[in-house]
Amino acid sequence: MPLAMLSQGESAVVKAIKWGTEMKKRLTGMGLIEGSLIKLVSSSGKDGFILDVKGSRLVVGRTVALKILVDNA
């Protein structure tokens, strides 16, 4: 399921990033690695998603959140 479908406070495992090579590299550089555990800290629904990735906060927009596929932890 897309990361955008997670509920606030829910944790998940990154399964795939369905975007081009450059965006995938960029997200990987920020810690969003396939197989890593993430937690949705906050979501405004349409503006952005605040994630906890390995103890750091990362904000992604809705378009990006729809391209990151996750499974429940």
Q: Read out DSSP for the chain?
A: -BGGGPPTT-EEEEEEE-S-HHHHHHHHHTT--TT-EEEEEEE-SSS-EEEEETTEEEEE-HHHHHHEEEEE-
- pTM of the predicted model as reported, rounded to 2 decimal places: 0.89
Q: How far apart are CA 35 and CA 30, in angstroms?
A: 14
What is the rounded average pLDDT of the residues 41-68?
91
pLDDT in tens, 14-48: 999 998 899 999 999 999 999 999 999 999 867 79
pLDDT the model gives residue 53: 96
pLDDT the model gives residue 66: 94
pLDDT the model gives residue 52: 97
CATH class of 3-72: mainly beta
pLDDT the model gives residue 45: 65
